[in-house]
Amino acid sequence: MKISIKDITSLPDQSKKFTGSIDICDFSYLGSDFSINHIEPFDVVLSMIGSGKLHITFDTKCSILGHCDRCLGDVTFEVPVSVDETVEVSEGQVVTDDDIGPYSFVDGEEINIDELILNEILVNFPAKILCQDDCKGICPVCGKNRNIEPCGCDDTVLDPRMAQFLDVFNSFKEVK
């Protein structure tokens, strides 16, 4: 969603509350695709600090569907979103910060809430996405999901002369 700041910026020291929502559903991060399944209901609060600063705050939580880093199976995980931004305003417009340049979440006289949420999701993104802590992943040799059934391949085999010997060795391991 986008929220116009036109009205609030002419009301020094006032606050306005908006029922939050998100329009985007899918996004990519580091080459993988994710979808936002659910977002907890939230209110966006815009407050003027004096007449020159705008404070934007909201808190919510997103439930995101992605894929396990090891086996590529579906994984749903939660990411907290906590936005607390203060920008300078002048004549109903956000003033571009000299050091960091234009804000990605400002679009003319509008605040882009989707962009703020997405920024927060990426900041709080889990370092690893796993379907289970001990996910065994996909066998690089035969391509089977090793969580479903052990395939018995040895993915360290490089020398074909060793392969036969290791096949025997693996069949012993499986018997145990």
With CB under 5 A as the rule, give the number of residues binding Zn ion: 11
Report residue 8 as tokens: 């609030």
> What Å distances lie between residue 161 and 1, 151, 166, CA to CA?
62, 20, 10
From the list 11, 9, 66, 4, the residue with the least C-alpha distance to 33 is 66
Q: Binding of Zn ion at residue 141 (CB under 5 A)?
A: yes
CB of 74 to Zn ion, least distance (A): 9
CB of 21 to Zn ion, least distance (A): 32
Q: Binding of Zn ion at residue 148 (CB under 5 A)?
A: no
State which amino acid sits at residue 116.
Answer: L
Q: Binding of Zn ion at residue 131 (CB under 5 A)?
A: yes
Residue 172 contacts by C-beta under 8 Å, 6 or more apart in sequence? none
Q: For the window 9-38, what string marks contact with Zn ion as x by the rule CB under 5 A?
A: ------------------------------
Residue 133 contacts by C-beta under 8 Å, 6 or more apart in sequence? none
Choose the binding region for Zn ion from 2-10, 12-20, 129-137, 162-170 (rule: CB under 5 A). 129-137
Q: Binding of Zn ion at residue 129 (CB under 5 A)?
A: no
Alpha-carbon torsion, ordered 119, 123, 128, 129, to 10 deg: -40
Q: Binding of Zn ion at residue 79 (CB under 5 A)?
A: no
Point out which residues bind Zn ion (CB under 5 A).
68, 70-71, 73, 131, 135, 139, 141-142, 151, 153
